[in-house]
Amino acid sequence: MSLILKRALLATAVAGVLGTSVPAAAVSPGEQALKNRAISYVMTDSQWAVYQTPGGKDECPNGLSKWGPRERFKEMFPDRTPGKYSLKDTQIALEGSIWNPDTSPDTFEYILAGGTTSYGANLDGKVGPNDFTSPEGEKGIDNQLFRVIGCDDNMRGPNGTIYGVGGNYVRNVTFNRMIVELTNVDSLANDADVDVKITRGLDKLMTDSGGDRMLPGGTQRIDTRWAKKFTQTLKGKIVDGVLRTTPVPVLKMIDTRNRTPIEDLFRDGVLVLKVSSDYAEGVAAGYVDINRFYFNFNKEFNTFVQAYGRTDAHGMYKKMKELADAYPGKDGKNTAISGAVLMKFAQAFVEYPAKQVVKDDGAPSLKPAR
């Protein structure tokens, strides 16, 4: 039985008990959309999944990142006498090693995250010794990327610079207007076969008057040109209000957290979203290509941004390679690392570009086109 009908019956029953007339049941925008067996969501928040406990006591018992660019430089080149060191042997050598990383041993300690809990998905269908348990209790969560970034002060909310800047950009930059369009939907509670389309919108998010709370019911024009590369269709099912898509070889996600156009790739990628008529939230998960993640990260967040929270780019690459858990390259070493992105969505109505037809008088009329 649909949610709308249930509410209507309940309203009628209550009215009968109270001897009052039946008020019109409030119908949310999402419920309206579901009348056509379709509902769409627009992304309102996105962060690389970092599970946090107060003070990091569980996941970062040894503290947070220690050797950011400033600390590393000071340790390596402590003398501040002008002219003591050459730029070539110091700053640009360090930058060169960031942009041309290797797996040689690093003398600087890198703090890895631990603990038993992480966001993500069970990508390999197994429960292994290095796996986590999700906050909801699901075992076998594969998220080795969390170990690498989990104790990076920049990546932790609410005050981490990358966390804050990135979140802000996700909301305010239209490039990130990821749309998840569900069709063939009979129920958001349980549905064995749902079609999922991922694309991008072109409009601002709808917020409350304060600008912080994302509201359902906005409209998004669909980007049918620039989003072609990551427009993709998936299959999924909804069980107890959670949509889970069938893994795809490559799940593409648009992503910018600081003015750099980024396309993330999740191999064996899945979406796992708790869905309702107004909102959705969950994860995109998969095996993240290490080189792509690493270079995208550094393109977005330069050394001076990394310095704010002591991000250690040198160590990050080495640890990602060390903990990589999938897709061996020609040298037999894994090139991808399990990871996840936490996402939030608000229901939105989507509008595909109209096909213009010119009338005899020269003025155009617009016919909706799909």
Identify which of residues 95 and 124 has a Cβ nearer to other proteins in the complex.
95
Per-residue 3-state assignment (H helix, E strand, C coil) for 159-210:
CCHHHHHHHHHHHHCHHHCEEEEEECCCCCCCEEEEEEEEEEECCCCCECCC
The one among 225, 360, 368, 370 contacting other proteins by CB under 8 A: 225
**Interaction of residue 99 with other proteins, rule CB under 8 A:** yes
State how far Cα 132 lies from the chain centre.
19
The one among 2, 28, 174, 207 contacting other proteins by CB under 8 A: 174
- The contact pattern for other proteins, residues 28-57, with x = CB under 8 A and - = no contact, is ------------------------------
Provide the token pair at 360. 């005899």
Instruction: Of 166, 165, 176, 169, give the one whose Cα is nearest residue 42.
Output: 176
**Minimum distance of other proteins from residue 279's CB (angstroms):** 21
The one among 36, 365, 368, 370 contacting other proteins by CB under 8 A: 365
What letter represents residue 235's amino acid? K
Helix axes 290-300, 91-99, angle to 10 degrees: 140
* Bridge partners for 279 per DSSP: 346
Identify which of residues 91 and 183 has a Cβ nearer to other proteins in the complex.
91
Cis ω before 158 (30° cut-off from 0): yes
**Minimum distance of other proteins from residue 355's CB (angstroms):** 10
Instruction: Choose one: 37-45, 105-113, 187-195, 294-302; the region binding other proteins (CB under 8 A).
Output: 294-302
Specify whether the CB–CB gap between 46 and 163 falls below 8 A. no
**Interaction of residue 70 with other proteins, rule CB under 8 A:** yes
C-beta neighbour count of 106 within 10 angstroms:
16
Query: Which SS3 state, helix, strand or coil, does residue 83 take?
Result: coil
What letter represents residue 321's amino acid? K
Instruction: Choose one: 43-51, 111-119, 316-324, 354-362; the region binding other proteins (CB under 8 A).
Output: 354-362
The one among 56, 68, 115, 166 contacting other proteins by CB under 8 A: 68
Task: Give the length of the chain.
Answer: 370
CA distance 276 to 216: 11
**Interaction of residue 69 with other proteins, rule CB under 8 A:** yes
Q: In the complex, which residues of this chain contact other proteins (CB under 8 A)?
A: 68-70, 73, 80-88, 90-93, 95-97, 99-100, 172-175, 202-204, 221, 225-230, 254, 256, 259-261, 263, 291-292, 295, 299-300, 302-304, 307, 356, 358, 361-366
